[in-house]
């Protein structure tokens, strides 16, 4: 443990709260592991588990016929006009994410002896052990199953749906049968007032001893060990449990726990080990349990472990979908904000490190969600705006991509920047690979077509006007939420049109899209010298807000940066200085840090990090909370923190490498390895009191510009397959 960063964490006692349970996942199934020797519990989750709430068939409001009148009123100066742009429906949340059930393994009470539980990030395995008992759990990427191995002579095993917030009307049926291959436990739950249900199936294979039914579960006596394989399926109508049993039996036939783990490691370990951060932390601090390390918020060992945990949690929650607000995990049916994919900030913040930190699995999970919902995005464009193309919703449950979650205070159906915002990580991924994904090209074309149909109004200077326009989830100080020319909308439209043109070179479409992008108005600098959140003159800024959507041009776009647009970068920096933290949401602090890193303000990066590290945002599991004092389980901080550290150390564009743009003084030395750049090279970076060294391993031949923290810029010719070493003398 003293030779480098710790790729795992541990605790000296079982989890008393589900929030402190160690997590494992394969991007479909998730497991929250308590590690209690007397009553071991594993909460089972799955990305598809969302409770019907009446929104299953909800559609976007049909408002297109009323759009011209709204635009007329807004352009005429009616600053509250958009409040009437609705079909009168009440606020409808997306279907809420919920846990499935928990596996319970009770053993006779007895002395525990020395106890320890841990999770190994390199394997995804949670281990708990004490005298006479061990429990090992992982979620297989290879076989899509939760695997648990327990050594204890006597056990009572059951599946229990009774978790906090479970609806009283949940219709639950249990099954338990003994077979020649072991024992099969089932739990079927049908949602109240719905034909939709989910079924959990657990195959129990006992080594030695005696197994007998003890409904609703099993009783095992005198055994050496028990192996449990668990899957859950959400379905409409009956599920063929026999087929599920046969699949689990075939998977288990002739295979031990270690065999199943080996099958899983090829996918998980390979992905996790691609990138590492070593801050040369104190070995004694590296050896501490996570709960103790969290008491030292200025410790480099803490940053190392949170970087490692963040990449582990992000990988584990990404597969069928990218992470939800709580990642892939919850132990409560009343998950905050429906446990949704919140697109107007949180999804992109959580996945911000995917490209640079070498986790294409995460980007592919985001792409999977986007491409499944493209038709719904097209419905949004037609219904609300009468346009071709695609408009993304601000919230989704993973099933529907329709924009139906909106209200007077949150007119999210007016948000047109979402498609570009969500597609930006896919574009970054293509830049790293050096080729265009045809699916991304098609999606970008849809977004560009929307802007062709939507951007039809002009101002007195001939610029097209984004009207109505919405800056999530803020409003001008002197107007209502639906306004004109929000900075994010301008940047998103410009970026989408130009990027779509780049993906379709030499076509008439590309020429039209570039011409339309050129007609968008410039950003405005307000009387405070700050980049205005609304470029329309007369709309005043509201500074104290958790979202920083108006600085989209800085991060994740490179439209505004200190090297190419120093005047706008200065105004963006002033806007960042004026921005308040509002309710201290973790995503607000780390969004602030990401923008500060692009603006090369290491002090502000460090301050934003300190707000999170000193604010008691992390549970013992190293999963995070939305608010200080571990209030509301939420993955934003856990998943976004690695991106902040990377952006402070290195930033790349397709033609530029920026080294140490915002290195905090609290990180005097370290090594960052395995980073992917958008010009197609891997990067290893080391720094310390004696200098710095960067090694580039390019996959394609290309000329780039190298910038350092001093602002010096030099060209560098990279040749595919030839390592290039940068030292201070070479800069």
Helices (H), 30-144: 67-75
Q: Is 1 a residue whose pLDDT tops 60?
A: no
Q: What gap in Å lies between CA 730 and CA 679, rounded to an integer?
A: 20
Residue 418 falls inside a structural domain: no
Q: Kindly indicate the confidence band of residue 729, based on its pLDDT and cuts at 50, 70 and 90.
A: low
pLDDT digits (tens, 9 = 90+) for 686-726: 999 999 999 999 999 999 999 987 778 999 999 999 999 99
Question: What mean pLDDT do residues 171-177 have?
Answer: 96
Q: Is 546 a residue whose pLDDT tops 90?
A: yes
pLDDT digits (tens, 9 = 90+) for 653-669: 999 999 999 999 999 99
Residue 527 falls inside a structural domain: no
pLDDT at position 3 is: 75
Question: What mean pLDDT do residues 500-522 have?
Answer: 98
Q: What gap in Å lies between CA 434 and CA 428, rounded to an integer?
A: 10
Q: Which two tokens stand for residue 8?
A: 């795992």
E strand or H helix at 688, and its extent? strand 681-688
Q: Is 347 a residue whose pLDDT tops 70?
A: yes
Question: What mean pLDDT do residues 100-112 have?
Answer: 89
DSSP, collapsed to helix, strand or coil, labels residue 613 as helix
Task: Catalogue the long-range contacts made by 174-177 (C-beta closer than 8 Å, 24 or more residues apart).
Answer: 174/215, 174/216, 174/217, 175/241, 176/213, 176/215, 176/216, 176/217, 176/218, 177/213
pLDDT at position 87 is: 96
Q: What gap in Å lies between CA 418 and CA 35, rounded to an integer?
A: 41
pLDDT at position 4 is: 86
Q: What are phi and psi of 468, to 5 degrees?
A: -75, 165
pLDDT at position 608 is: 97
Q: Which two tokens stand for residue 424?
A: 């930006």
pLDDT at position 56 is: 94
Report the CATH number at residue 134. 2.70.98.50
Which residues contact residue 241 at a Cβ distance below 8 angstroms, ignoring those fewer than 6 apart?
175, 184, 186, 199, 201
pLDDT at position 721 is: 97
Q: Is 43 a residue whose pLDDT tops 50?
A: yes
Q: Which domain holds residue 240?
A: 8-50+96-273
The whole-chain average pLDDT of the chain stands at 96
Residue scoring higher pLDDT (690 or 674):
674
Residue 729 falls inside a structural domain: no
Pairing, β 702-707 against β 656-659? parallel
Q: Is 731 a residue whose pLDDT tops 70?
A: no
Q: How many domains is the chain built from?
A: 1
Q: Is 623 a residue whose pLDDT tops 80?
A: yes
Strand partners, 146: 139, 230
Q: Is 84 a residue whose pLDDT tops 50?
A: yes
Residue pair 596/644 in contact (Cβ under 8 Å)? The answer is no
- Residue 305, burial from CB neighbour count under 10 angstroms (0-12, 13-18, 19+): buried
E strand or H helix at 203, and its extent? strand 196-207
pLDDT digits (tens, 9 = 90+) for 263-306: 999 999 999 999 999 999 999 999 999 999 999 999 999 999 99
In angstroms, how far is CA 261 from the centroid of its own chain? 25
Q: What gap in Å lies between CA 695 and CA 681, rounded to an integer?
A: 10
Largest interatomic CA distance in the chain: 85
* Listed range (174-183, 334-343, 591-600) with the worst mean pLDDT: 174-183
Question: What mean pLDDT do residues 447-454 have?
Answer: 98
Q: Is 373 a residue whose pLDDT tops 80?
A: yes
Q: Kindly indicate the confidence band of residue 341, based on its pLDDT and cuts at 50, 70 and 90.
A: very high
Q: Kindly indicate the confidence band of residue 611, based on its pLDDT and cuts at 50, 70 and 90.
A: very high
Which residues contact residue 349 at a Cβ distance below 8 angstroms, ignoring those fewer than 6 apart?
587, 590, 591, 594, 636, 639, 640, 643
Residue 648 falls inside a structural domain: no
Q: Kindly indicate the confidence band of residue 2, based on its pLDDT and cuts at 50, 70 and 90.
A: very low
Residue 19 falls inside a structural domain: yes
In angstroms, how far is CA 560 from the centroid of its own chain? 25
Provide the percentage of residues in the chain whose pLDDT is more than 70. 99
Residue pair 171/58 in contact (Cβ under 8 Å)? The answer is no
Provide the percentage of residues in the chain whose pLDDT is more than 90. 95
Q: CA angle, corner 423, sides to 390 and 269, nearest 5?
A: 140
């Amino acid at each position: 443990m003293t030779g480098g960063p710790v790729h795992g964490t541990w605790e000296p006692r079982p989890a008393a709260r589900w929030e402190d349970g160690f997590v494992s996942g394969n991007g479909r199934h998730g497991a929250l592991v308590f590690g209690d020797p007397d009553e071991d519990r594993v909460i089972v989750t799955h990305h598809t588990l969302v409770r019907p709430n009446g929104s299953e068939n909800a559609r976007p409001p049909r408002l297109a016929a009323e759009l011209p009148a709204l635009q007329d009123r807004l352009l005429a100066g009616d600053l509250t006009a958009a409040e009437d742009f609705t079909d009168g429906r009440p606020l409808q949340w997306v279907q809420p994410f919920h846990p499935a059930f928990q596996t319970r393994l009770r053993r006779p009470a007895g002395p525990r002896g020395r106890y320890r539980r841990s999770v190994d990030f390199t394997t995804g395995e949670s281990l708990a052990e004490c005298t006479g008992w061990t429990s090992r759990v992982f979620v297989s990427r290879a076989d899509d199953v939760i695997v648990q191995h327990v050594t204890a002579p006597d056990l009572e095993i059951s599946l229990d749906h009774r978790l906090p917030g479970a609806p009283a009307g949940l219709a639950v049926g249990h099954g338990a049968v003994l077979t020649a291959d072991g024992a099969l436990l089932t739990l079927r739950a049908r949602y109240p007032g719905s034909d939709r249900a989910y079924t959990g199936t657990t195959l129990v294979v006992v080594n030695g001893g005696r197994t007998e039914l003890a409904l609703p579960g099993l009783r095992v006596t005198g055994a050496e060990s028990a192996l449990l394989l668990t899957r859950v399926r959400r379905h409409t109508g009956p599920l063929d449990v026999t087929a599920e049993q046969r699949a689990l039996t075939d998977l288990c036939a002739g295979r031990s726990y270690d065999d199943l783990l080996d099958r899983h490691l090829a996918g998980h370990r390979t992905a996790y080990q691609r990138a590492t951060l070593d801050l040369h932390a104190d070995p004694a601090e590296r050896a501490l349990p996570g709960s103790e390390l969290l008491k030292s918020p200025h410790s480099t060992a803490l940053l190392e472990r949170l970087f490692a945990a963040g990449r582990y949690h992000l990988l584990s929650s990404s597969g069928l979908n990218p992470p939800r607000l709580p990642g892939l995990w919850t132990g409560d049916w009343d998950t905050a904000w429906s446990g949704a994919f919140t697109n107007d900030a949180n999804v992109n913040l959580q996945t911000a490190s995917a490209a640079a930190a070498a986790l294409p699995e995460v980007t592919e999970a985001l792409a999977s969600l986007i491409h499944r919902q493209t038709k719904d995005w097209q419905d949004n464009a037609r219904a609300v705006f009468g346009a071709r193309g695609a408009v993304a919703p601000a919230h989704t449950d993973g099933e529907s991509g329709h924009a139906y979650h909106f209200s007077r205070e949150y007119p999210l159906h007016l948000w047109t920047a979402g498609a570009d915002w969500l597609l930006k990580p896919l574009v970054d991924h293509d830049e790293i690979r050096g080729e265009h994904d045809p699916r991304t090209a098609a999606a970008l074309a849809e977004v560009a077509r929307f802007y062709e149909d939507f951007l039809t109004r002009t101002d007195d200077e001939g610029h097209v006007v984004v009207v109505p326009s919405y800056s999530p989830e803020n409003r001008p100080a002197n107007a209502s939420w639906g306004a004109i020319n929000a900075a994010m909308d301008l940047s998103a439209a410009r970026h989408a049109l130009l990027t779509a043109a780049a993906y379709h070179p030499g076509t008439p479409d590309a020429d039209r899209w570039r011409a339309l992008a050129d007609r968008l108005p410039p950003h405005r600098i307000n009387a405070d010298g700050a980049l205005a959140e609304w470029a329309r003159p007369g709309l005043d800024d509201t500074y104290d807000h958790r979202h920083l959507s108006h600085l989209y041009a800085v991060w994740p776009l490179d439209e505004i940066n200190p090297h190419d647009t120093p005047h706008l970068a200065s105004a963006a920096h002033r806007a960042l200085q004026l921005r308040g933290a509002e309710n201290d949401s973790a995503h607000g602090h780390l969004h602030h840090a990401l923008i500060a890193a692009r603006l090369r303000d290491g002090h502000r990066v460090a301050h934003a990090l300190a707000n999170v590290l000193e604010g008691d945002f992390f549970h013992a599991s190293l999963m995070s909370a939305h608010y200080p004092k571990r209030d509301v389980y939420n993955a934003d901080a856990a998943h976004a923190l690695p991106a902040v550290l990377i952006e402070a150390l290195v930033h790349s564009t397709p033609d530029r490498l920026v080294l140490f743009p915002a290195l905090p003084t609290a990180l005097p030395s370290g090594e960052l390895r395995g980073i992917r750049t958008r010009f197609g090279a891997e990067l290893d970076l080391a720094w310390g009191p004696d200098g710095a060294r960067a090694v580039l391993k390019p996959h394609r031949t290309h000329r780039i510009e190298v910038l350092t923290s001093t602002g010096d810029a030099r060209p560098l010719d990279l040749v595919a397959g030839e390592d290039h070493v940068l030292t201070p003398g070479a800069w």
